[in-house]
Amino acid sequence: MPDSRLANPLKFTVNEKELRELQPFIVNVSGANNMTIVDVVMVKILFNSYFFLSDGLRNVFKMYDDTIDVVPLLVKNKDFSLQLLYWMVDMEATDGVVANKFIKAQDMQINKVSVVDKPIHKVHYEKQTFILVNHYMAESVLRRLPVGVYFQEVKAV
């Protein structure tokens, strides 16, 4: 998940129509002089969450699962000569989340049968969306010192 503890992380809004077309697109941002550049940006539109990964984080995702589709997004600000490349993760949600009542993400229980095949999963849980990764991939991401990425342990049963 994006780390909510960061002060002034990169944020942008996108048009849902552009997201559904799965074509490269450009987003303009303002206030780039005091913005923290992060490795993951989540954009919520109604009950859908869209995840955008930095180039380095996308490489790790592709290393562990080359079947993940990504759509390029150029984030720019002409006043500060800022140009960043992000990649929207386009993957289907994985079935198998078992939950009684949403309290915290760590209370989410994942059906082991559905998650052993792949190291990365997109999961809809209540009204939120999460990206789940196995602990090997989480360690690989952490070795690259990502900015703005928050990991939380969930139980596989």
Confidence of residue 59 (pLDDT cuts 50, 70, 90): very high
Torsion 16-1-142-40 (CA) sign: positive
Q: Give a yes or no: residue 109 inside a domain.
A: yes
pLDDT of residue 38: 92
Q: Give a yes or no: residue 7 inside a domain.
A: no
Which of 6-10, 20-24, 100-104, 139-143 is least confident? Answer: 100-104
pLDDT of residue 99: 47
Q: Which domain holds residue 34?
A: 16-156
pTM of the model: 0.83
CB 13 within 8 A of CB 43: yes
Q: Give a yes or no: residue 79 inside a domain.
A: yes
Confidence of residue 111 (pLDDT cuts 50, 70, 90): low
Q: Give a yes or no: residue 72 inside a domain.
A: yes
pLDDT of residue 60: 94
The residue that leads in pLDDT, 94 or 84, is 84
Q: Give a yes or no: residue 146 inside a domain.
A: yes
131: nearest Cα among 67, 75, 51: 51
pLDDT of residue 139: 93
3-state SS of 86-148? EEEEECCECCCEECCCCCCHHHCEECHHHHCCCCEEEEEECCEEEEEECHHHHHHHHHCCCCC
Q: Give a yes or no: residue 147 inside a domain.
A: yes
Phi–psi pair at 20, nearest 5 degrees:
-70, -25
Q: Give a yes or no: residue 1 inside a domain.
A: no
Range with the largest mean pLDDT of 3-7, 103-107, 138-142: 138-142
Query: In the chain, how many domains are there?
Result: 1
Q: Give a yes or no: residue 11 inside a domain.
A: no
